[in-house]
Structure 1
């Protein structure tokens, strides 16, 4: 399937880019190699999203996380505070670095293969395939505990964090807003608990929220309310109607 197909059919993220301000935490602030701050961007400005430009940056964040960050004392301290195991702590198959063996059922953030493989895992060139570890559980835990500040994100995911995990970070911040709006505290915590030994130790309201982020979330929430009422496709209301409906249903 060609790259042009993906660029044509998935042209946008649907989410504007937001920053979180740094300050505090065991990590120093660092600017992203992908560019400057996008803070204050209008909620109506939807940037183009090319998955083939994003994916190498995401892989860079994965390698940094596995090869460097998880072995850093600061990252280990944050992980202990928010009660989440790092890949090298997974049992019985720890992932020590990005070239380590691919885990099968070693942890909640591991990629579990749906079918057994025999022999070493290799790529199309016959080279050993790198370990694949999802970064989403770690981003989610940082968001809900208020630890997703710029310095911490850089400490976990490296210089390319804005380009590599920034889009995921934005979505998870929005998901947290949606979860809080949907159900009560106990159910929100239950949804974010990963296992009995990796339960969420505390929840904090979303930190460093910008007005554009709230307005973008409101617009998307209105679209979800329309979906609940089957107001999609030819029945989809316009943006003004969605905003009025969201106000009515949540007042």
Structure 2
């Protein structure tokens, strides 16, 4: 499924390496892929923008609802018995009619209790998109809006790396179980990570080597002199 939008950022035909900033460097300048600094105060408003867009707009659109149904994950307004229909915690009415989209009636909409926690995490949706191979820029734009790259781009990169690590750590069944949610929201299928760049693989290899070093307590004064070149990681010869 593709979300066609000319504001979708990088082409959905393939990810450029610069589309995956290092954690903590979601700025839009060309140094973002190598800048190790992380200004969490600068990042947070962009993340909030993505969060509001997902709750107030995206979840009430037909393309997002259709894809969510296909990959078997409930949207916040579908959660029982306390649906979240918008970013306003005290709101109990659906935003759908105001946005000009058609929704099936939600029988739980009037049961929302303002005293109940209204926190909605974006991570489960990122994880499900990654695991099912639907994390193209167009889809991420459809879910999280114009600020998706700066707001959830780094989190998206991390979840792609986590998916690689899961595949390396366990067999298919255990990976599937890790990506299941409730008994009603099991992941219907897994796909190998899509649109992977050599730079992304190398970054994952380096981080995986750091993890293996920690497993062996090779930390601090015992840390390897050259981290990221673990002999247990096989590299194919370069032409």
Q: TM-score normalized by structure 2?
A: 0.76
Q: Is contact 1:67-1:97 (8 Å) kept? A: yes
What does residue range 12-91 of structure 1 map to in structure 2 within 5 Å?
25-32=2-9, 39-41=16-18, 45-91=34-80
1:131: how far off?
4.1
Deviations 1:10-43 (A, max 9, x none): xxxxxxxxxxxxxx513324245xxxx9933598
Q: Secondary structure at the match of 1:163?
A: helix
Deviation at 1:186, TM superposition (A): 0.3
Quote the Cα distance in structure 2 between the aligned partners of 1:46 and 1:182: 29
Residues 95 and 101, structure 1, Cα contact 8 Å, conserved in 2 = no
Deviation at 1:54, TM superposition (A): 0.7
- In structure 2, the partner of 1:98 is 87
Mapping 1:181-192, distance limit 5 Å = 181-192=168-179
Task: Please give the secondary structure, in 2, of the residue aligned with 1:49.
Answer: coil
Q: Please report how far the alpha carbon of residue 247 of structure 1 lies from its aligned counterpart in structure 2 after TM superposition.
A: 2.5
Question: Could you tell me how far apart the structure 2 residues matched to 1:131 and 1:208 are?
Answer: 34
Structure 2 spans left out of the alignment, 5+ residues = 23-32, 92-112, 235-239
Measured after TM superposition, the shift of residue 69 of structure 1 is 0.2
* Distance of 1:29 and 1:177 partners within structure 2: 30
Give the structure 2 partner of residue 193 of structure 1: 180
Residues 120/96 of structure 1: CA separation in 2 closer, same or farther (3 Å cut): closer
Unaligned runs of 5+ in 1: 1-23, 103-118, 122-129
Structure 2: distance between partners of 1:95 and 1:215: 39
Q: Match for residue 190 of structure 2?
A: 203
Look up the SS of the partner of 1:198 in the other structure. Answer: coil
Write the distance in 2 (CA, Å) between the matches of 1:153 and 1:145. 13
| CA deviation string 1:206-229 (max 9, x = no partner) | 000011000000000000000000
Matched, 1:156 2:133: no
Q: CA RMSD in A?
A: 2.6
Match of 1:245 among 202, 225, 231: 231
Asked if structure 2 preserves the Cα contact closer than 8 Å seen for 1:65 and 1:158, the reply is: yes
Task: Check 1:45–1:95 CA distance in 2 against 1; reply closer, same or farther (3 A cut).
Answer: same
For residues 71-115 of structure 1, what are the alpha-carbon distances to aligned partners after superposition, in whole Å with 9 as ceiling and x for unaligned? 00000001001000000000000000000349xxxxxxxxxxxxx
Q: For 1:180 and 1:235, how far apart are their aligned partners in 2?
A: 28
Q: 1:245 to 1:200 in 2, by over 3 A?
A: same
Cα offsets for 1:96-141 (capped at 9, x unmatched): 0000349xxxxxxxxxxxxxxxx967xxxxxxxx943110000000
Q: 3-state DSSP class of the match of 2:206? A: helix
Secondary structure of the corresponding residue to residue 231 of structure 2: helix
